[in-house]
Amino acid sequence: MQQAIFGGGCFWCTESVFLHVKGVQKVESGYAGGQRANPSYEQICTGATGHAEVIRIDFDESELSFNLLLDVFFATHDPTTLNRQGNDIGTQYRSVIFYLDEKQKNFFREIVKNINKGKLYNSMFHGLHHSQKVLLFAYLIGL
């Protein structure tokens, strides 16, 4: 079983997309990348904590490749829209990938480089962060 952590706007919307992808075993919504331990939802919404809304995906690599997983990620939102997706505005809605090991880091960097080089979007995607920045994965379902 492999894991990936993506932020692509509202985590419930992103979670819904990935729940329907063959090979995905589990998707959980949470927050990652912030500087404050255990912030409240209200604190996150101010943008002051640095957290992003993310999903953690457990997937079977024999059924689903990283490449296809990223294809879904990039096809379902605009990764170059700074701090917003659709009507959701704020730093917590930024597009970001948190890599969990060097293999993911190198793979994601290559994909992002090709996306930026191919000029698929009007601007560039820069949201790649190491998993050490994942300080909080709070499950706030039921807010």
Instruction: List, for residues 7-17, the tens digit of each pLDDT value.
Output: 888 888 899 99
Query: Is 10 part of the annotated catalytic residue set?
Result: yes
pLDDT tier for residue 20 given thresholds of 50, 70 and 90: very high
d(CA 27, CA 67): 18
pLDDT of residue 118: 66
Task: List own/partner pairs for 105-112 with CB under 8 A and 24 or more apart.
Answer: 105/130, 107/66, 107/67, 108/66, 108/70, 111/67, 111/70
pLDDT of residue 123: 60
pLDDT of residue 129: 53
Is 97:127 a contact under the CB 8 Å cutoff?
Answer: yes
Classify 60 as helix, strand or coil: coil
Is residue 135 predicted with pLDDT exceeding 70?
no
Q: What length is written for the chain?
A: 143
β-strands 128-130, 95-99: how paired? parallel
pLDDT of residue 137: 41
Angle separating helix axes 66-75 and 102-117, nearest 10 degrees:
50
DSSP 7: E
pLDDT of residue 19: 95
Is residue 60 predicted with pLDDT exceeding 50?
yes
pLDDT of residue 64: 95
Catalytic pick among 10, 24, 32, 70: 10
Percentage of residues in the chain having pLDDT higher than 70: 82
- Give residue-wise pLDDT tens across range 78-133: 777 777 777 888 888 888 888 888 888 888 778 777 777 766 665 655 555 555 44
Helix ranges, the chain (H): 11-18, 41-45, 66-75, 102-117
Greater confidence (28 vs 101) lies with 28
pLDDT of residue 72: 92
Degrees, nearest 5: CA angle 16-19-23: 155
Read off the tokens for 126.
């820069």
